[in-house]
Structure 1
């Protein structure tokens, strides 16, 4: 088949779709992947070992300065819908028309379309062209069920909570979705969750079954395929001799990364690095702290703390005692696959969901949020994890089970047998 994929977002939104594209190409399909990266031009030179045709559109969508401003606005908002509205307006909207034009061309050329769940331009193009559409969820928080809701309240409230959640999500998203539908003479969408985010043809949940519990009332079209992982990419860095020497020189360190939520401007990155550094020193642990511009921020590595611009998570995480991270889908599952407990500094509501899920399965302590975290609080969270070895034991047991899963292969099987 000719299969077209499209994704938008940060590294954590792009990497799993690239992994899936590679898997489909290796399975004998003719695959094209469209990428729009919000905050980086790092994918401009990315090539596919399997031969996937990759096109990069409107990347980066925002500048580093805009990213800092938008990021703090999102962090300081406690309302998940306001967070989403801001992301849509500032990070998605500027690239929407270009992505939609490319999506229509991709739909005309492809037999099957596969899109990141946020990618309504591709869903609309696929529906208009009469082509099968596969939605890829990178979190299970958005699947309505009478048995669960991200707020974690007693089950009796879930029906009302999901009615309200869907209504509010639709109100926030419909201007974007229905503007594009109107351009093609299509009727307005009635429910964004069920008509855009979830595909009645096939919805893949790219989350390990060790973390994502399939609920009894999920539609048959919703299938948990597992973590969409892939080998290290060049842009993710390498395990240098200097870093290897640091790891071998003492006790296992705590790895600290905020992923795409690490501020890219020097001022805010300096403040964040200062907080992470102080937390490590207060906790009395060795640490590896990841930040793209640590040298420009004026930090120097020593025997206790090493700073890196990037590092391959699948190589470094297994050699660490724990991982401090932002609660992104990819980093969360990479940490768990490495058999290491997490300390989550959540920036948005979805990351709070991941933190709560990790705590539920016994591999993390209490979450903290970026808007309220202090060095002392983070140090306390690190000490808690180090003082409770059962968290590491649980993480190792889950990692053993995850190692038997093959998310990309399962996703390819589900797509091709449809």
Structure 2
């Protein structure tokens, strides 16, 4: 079967699709994957060991200078709908046309189409071509249920909260979605969440069942497949000799990263490093701090703190005591899979949801927000986690369960079974 896949975003949005594409290709399918990376050209040279046809579309979307300005605008917007509008206007809109053209070509040549839930150009192209469409969600925050809502209010309010959430999301996103639908002669979508984000054919939630339970009122088409993970990628690098020496020289450090939300420019990255460094000093812990341009920021590693441009999470997280991170889907699940408690410094509402979920299952403390956190506050949150062995013990137990999951294999099985019924 010819399968066309398309994703957009940062590393955390792309890596799961690479993992799934490899799994489908190894299962005997002919897979093409389109990638649009918002903030990097790192994927230009990526190849597939199994033969996946990888095409890069309109990447990167923004420059480092634009990334710094856009990032702070999103963080300071506070309102989730304003944050989403900024992302749409600055990070998605500029390449919408190129992605839609690529999606239409992809749909025409494929038997089945798989898209990142946010990729309405892919969904529209598949529907217009009459091809089955699978939506992949990398977070469970946007799946309506009478049993849960991201705000965590009493269950009796969930019906109203989801009605309001869907209405506000549709008001924000429908102008973009329906403009493209009108362009190809399709009727307007009446509810973006249920008609675009969630596919009635098959919707896969790429989150570990240890974090996301499938709710009783979900349709059969909505399935939790688990974390879409894969072995360390070449572009993610290896642990350097210097880092290995640091890890061996003392107690397990706290790993500190802002992931794709680390400001790309030197001035803002210097400020972020100052926050993380001071927090580590105040906590009294050893730390590995990740920042792509740390060498330009005037900091120096010592026996307590080591700065790295990057380190593969699969290799470094298991050797740490805890992980300070931004609450991205990939980093969150990588830290959880490594059996380490988290301290989340969230930038946007989806990351706040991840922080609250980790706290709910007992492997993190309270969330902090990037726009307001101080070094003293962050140090207190780190110390809270380090001083509570129960958090580490629970994180280890969750990881032990996750180790026995295989999100890619489950997703491949669900996709293949659904296709056999319909294609």
TM over 0.5: yes
The CA distance in 2 between the partners of 1:199 and 1:287, in whole Å, is: 43
Aligned to 2:131: 131
User: Does residue 157 in structure 1 map to residue 157 in structure 2?
Assistant: yes
SS at structure 2 position matched to 1:343: strand
Q: 1:122-148: per-residue Cα shift (whole Å, max 9, x none)?
A: 100000111000000000010001111
Task: Give the unaligned 5+ runs of structure 2.
Answer: 419-423
User: Does residue 62 in structure 1 map to residue 69 in structure 2?
Assistant: no
Aligned to 1:94: 94
Q: CA deviation at 1:236?
A: 1.4
Check the 8 A contact 1:328/1:354 in 2, yes or no. yes
Q: CA deviation at 1:77?
A: 1.4
The CA distance in 1 between the partners of 2:43 and 2:412, in whole Å, is: 23
Check the 8 A contact 1:57/1:99 in 2, yes or no. yes
Superposition map of 1:195-234 within 5 A:
195-234=195-234
User: Does residue 358 in structure 1 map to residue 372 in structure 2?
Assistant: no
Check the 8 A contact 1:238/1:310 in 2, yes or no. no
Aligned to 1:38: 38
Q: CA deviation at 1:279?
A: 0.3
Q: CA deviation at 1:326?
A: 0.2
Task: Give the unaligned 5+ runs of structure 1.
Answer: none
Aligned to 2:242: 242
Q: CA deviation at 1:91?
A: 0.2
RMSD: 0.5
Q: CA deviation at 1:234?
A: 1.8
Aligned to 2:421: none
Q: CA deviation at 1:252?
A: 0.1
Compare 304-313 and 231-240 and name the one that shifted more.
231-240
Q: CA deviation at 1:298?
A: 1.3
The CA distance in 1 between the partners of 2:17 and 2:175, in whole Å, is: 26
Aligned to 2:256: 256
Check the 8 A contact 1:318/1:338 in 2, yes or no. yes
Q: CA deviation at 1:95?
A: 0.5
Q: CA deviation at 1:214?
A: 1.2
SS at structure 2 position matched to 1:295: helix
Q: CA deviation at 1:382?
A: 0.7
Aligned to 1:297: 297
Aligned to 2:334: 334
The CA distance in 2 between the partners of 1:31 and 1:237, in whole Å, is: 26
The aligned length equals 418
The CA distance in 2 between the partners of 1:78 and 1:268, in whole Å, is: 19
The CA distance in 2 between the partners of 1:140 and 1:69, in whole Å, is: 28
User: Does residue 2 in structure 1 map to residue 31 in structure 2?
Assistant: no
The CA distance in 2 between the partners of 1:319 and 1:188, in whole Å, is: 51
SS at structure 2 position matched to 1:50: coil
Check the 8 A contact 1:362/1:395 in 2, yes or no. yes
